[in-house]
């Protein structure tokens, strides 16, 4: 209120002290809705992943009651640091909202696994198959490094090695690249898998049991899905595929550190991960981030495989087209080993396009020998891991 006086104009502030009731002071803060809170929480990333806690479905409820923001979270992890970190980040995010003066953050943590379950990471639950002895992720972080080609040839190499030990049909390959499944083409399979009750029967070739989204959609049908659908599909590939008795299941992951990766480690106990990279920094820098992601979710790194390491000309001379030493540097930085170096040769590409992996068609070639050497090293590392409940 402005009052004119003898000394000029002064500002008169109504208050109870001068017997004048103050006028209503509106709340200038906009109303914060639950959707506003969830939108803000998209800034909070799950530790080790590029995706946020909202897109991963970890936010169960959100509301603003008075000036208090209340949020309920549901996590599945065995790492006590993860809930604490997420809670701190959520609190920081909520307090930045207009009108929020206090927070109540309820975090429900479900153990990712029982003490008797195999493996040693945050993933795995009661729905994970008990017939899979070891599960290994094949990851790259970056696309275009030949990860699926590597995974197919490694699976065939492992099948050969186990068959020689009198254990045929004990290798599985799960293609988790939902958007661009290429495993069926590379291993030479097409058609639809059979259904038995509520389960799919994996298709089989070269001694490898295979399941892929490529079996379930037409070649001309793009998969346009959001995160929750991808996560559900991967869970079904683990829980609703009749894999049978497997010594080892290779999981060909898509590039990145998003929905597929988190869904996998929350569904299947992983006994290790193999990182695939080419030698140049553009690939190794991203592969290193992928390795750090696995370490954050307690998946042991079995090693780094350097693909397209060198080109062999007709005279047998090596040419390091993509540089050299990148795989070893990546392994050293992550505290793991270099499993092997796969050459860049036309026969590997041609075999993938024809559905005839070089490990099968030319088993004595240098490339095939390299794949079997890598397989031997992986089996050796796994044999040193104790498996509870087995003898």
pLDDT at 120 over 50: no
Domain edge (last residue) among 49, 75, 110: 110
Q: Which domain, by its residues, includes 264?
A: 132-383
Q: Mind listing the pLDDT tens digit for each residue in 252-304?
A: 987 765 555 666 666 778 899 999 999 999 888 888 888 888 888 888 999 99
Residue 126 pLDDT grade (very low, low, confident, very high; cuts 50, 70, 90): very low
Q: Are residues 176 and 231 in the same domain?
A: yes
pLDDT at 220 over 70: no
For residue 125, tell me if it sits in a domain. Answer: no
For residue 267, tell me if it sits in a domain. Answer: yes
Q: Are residues 173 and 241 in the same domain?
A: yes
β-partners of residue 55 are none
Task: Say what the pLDDT of residue 113 is.
Answer: 43
Task: Say what the pLDDT of residue 193 is.
Answer: 85
Q: Name the CA radius of gyration of the chain, rounded.
A: 27
For residue 4, tell me if it sits in a domain. Answer: no
Q: Are residues 83 and 166 in the same domain?
A: no
User: Looking at residue 42, what DSSP letter applies?
Assistant: T
274 sits in which H/E element: strand 272-277
Q: Are residues 57 and 179 in the same domain?
A: no
Mean pLDDT calculated for residue range 86-114 = 86
Mean pLDDT calculated for residue range 121-126 = 46
User: Looking at residue 17, what DSSP letter applies?
Assistant: G
The DSSP string of 297-320 is TTPPEEEEEE-S--EE-TT--EE-
Q: Are residues 299 and 206 in the same domain?
A: yes
Nearest to 174 by CA among 132, 142, 119: 132
CATH number at residue 295: 3.40.50.300
pLDDT at 218 over 80: no
Task: Say what the pLDDT of residue 390 is.
Answer: 42
CB-CB neighbours of 300 under 10 Å: 16
Task: Say what the pLDDT of residue 388 is.
Answer: 42
Q: Are residues 228 and 375 in the same domain?
A: yes
For residue 10, tell me if it sits in a domain. Answer: no
Q: Are residues 172 and 104 in the same domain?
A: no
Q: Mind listing the pLDDT tens digit for each residue in 164-191?
A: 999 999 999 999 877 668 899 999 998 8
Q: How many residues does the chain have?
A: 391
Q: Are residues 94 and 200 in the same domain?
A: no
CATH number at residue 57: 3.30.300.130
β-partners of residue 103 are 69
For residue 389, tell me if it sits in a domain. Answer: no
Find where tokens 């699976």 sit. 155
CB-CB neighbours of 270 under 10 Å: 26
pLDDT at 115 over 70: no
Domain edge (last residue) among 79, 110, 141: 110
Lowest mean pLDDT among 22-26, 178-182, 370-374: 22-26
Yes or no: say if 356 and 222 are a contact pair by the CB < 8 Å rule.
no
Q: Which two tokens stand for residue 345?
A: 């040769």
Q: Which two tokens stand for residue 382?
A: 């796994």
Number of domains into which the chain is organized: 2
For residue 117, tell me if it sits in a domain. Answer: no
User: Looking at residue 30, what DSSP letter applies?
Assistant: P
- The C-alpha atoms of residue 158 and residue 368 are separated, in whole angstroms, by 11
Residue 378 pLDDT grade (very low, low, confident, very high; cuts 50, 70, 90): very high
For residue 15, tell me if it sits in a domain. Answer: no
Domain edge (last residue) among 75, 110, 145: 110
Q: Which residues contact 253 (CB under 8 A, 6 or more apart)?
A: 137, 138, 139, 140, 147, 176, 177, 260, 261, 264
Q: Are residues 172 and 268 in the same domain?
A: yes
Q: What are the percentages of helix, strand and coil residues in the chain, rounded to 5?
A: 35, 25, 45
Q: Are residues 230 and 365 in the same domain?
A: yes
Q: Are residues 276 and 345 in the same domain?
A: yes
Lowest mean pLDDT among 84-88, 94-98, 127-131, 379-383: 127-131
Q: Mind listing the pLDDT tens digit for each residue in 310-322?
A: 987 888 788 999 9
Mean pLDDT calculated for residue range 56-67 = 86
Q: Are residues 230 and 341 in the same domain?
A: yes
For residue 177, tell me if it sits in a domain. Answer: yes
81: three-class secondary structure by DSSP = helix
Task: Say what the pLDDT of residue 275 is.
Answer: 94
């Amino acid at each position: 209120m402005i009052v004119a006086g003898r000394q000029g104009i002064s500002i008169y502030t109504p208050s109870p002290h001068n017997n004048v009731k103050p006028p209503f002071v509106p709340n200038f803060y906009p109303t914060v809705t639950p959707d506003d809170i969830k939108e803000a929480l998209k800034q909070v990333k799950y530790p080790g992943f590029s995706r946020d806690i909202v897109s991963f479905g970890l936010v169960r409820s959100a509301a603003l009651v008075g000036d208090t923001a209340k949020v309920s979270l549901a996590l599945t992890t065995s790492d006590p640091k993860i809930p604490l970190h997420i809670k701190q980040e959520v609190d920081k995010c909520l307090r930045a909202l207009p009108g929020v003066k206090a927070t109540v953050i309820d975090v429900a943590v479900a153990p990712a696994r029982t003490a008797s379950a195999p493996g040693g990471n945050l993933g795995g639950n009661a729905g994970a198959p008990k017939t899979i002895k070891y599960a290994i992720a094949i990851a790259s972080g970056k696309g275009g490094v030949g990860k699926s080609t590597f995974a197919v040839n490694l699976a065939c190499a492992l099948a050969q090695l186990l068959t020689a030990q009198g254990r045929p049909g004990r290798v599985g390959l799960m293609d988790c690249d939902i958007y661009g499944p290429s495993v069926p083409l590379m291993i030479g399979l097409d058609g639809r898998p059979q259904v038995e009750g509520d389960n799919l029967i994996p298709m089989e070739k070269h001694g490898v049991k295979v399941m892929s989204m490529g079996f379930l959609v037409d070649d001309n049908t793009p998969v346009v899905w959001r995160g929750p659908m991808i996560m559900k599909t991967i869970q079904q590939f683990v829980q609703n595929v009749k894999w049978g008795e497997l010594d080892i299941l290779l999981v060909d992951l898509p590039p990145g550190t998003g929905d597929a990766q988190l869904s996998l480690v929350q569904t299947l106990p992983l006994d290790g991960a193999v990182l695939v990279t080419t030698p140049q920094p553009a690939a190794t820098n991203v592969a290193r981030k992928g390795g750090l992601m696995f370490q954050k979710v307690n998946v042991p790194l079995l090693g780094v495989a350097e693909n397209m390491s060198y080109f062999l000309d007709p005279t047998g001379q090596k040419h390091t087209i993509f540089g050299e030493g990148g795989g070893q540097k990546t392994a050293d930085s992550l505290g793991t080993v270099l499993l092997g170096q796969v050459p860049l040769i036309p026969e590997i590409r041609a075999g993938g396009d024809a559905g005839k992996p070089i490990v099968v068609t030319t088993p004595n070639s240098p490339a095939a020998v390299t794949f079997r050497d890598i397989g031997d090293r992986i089996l050796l590392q796994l044999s040193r891991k104790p498996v509870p409940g087995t003898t």
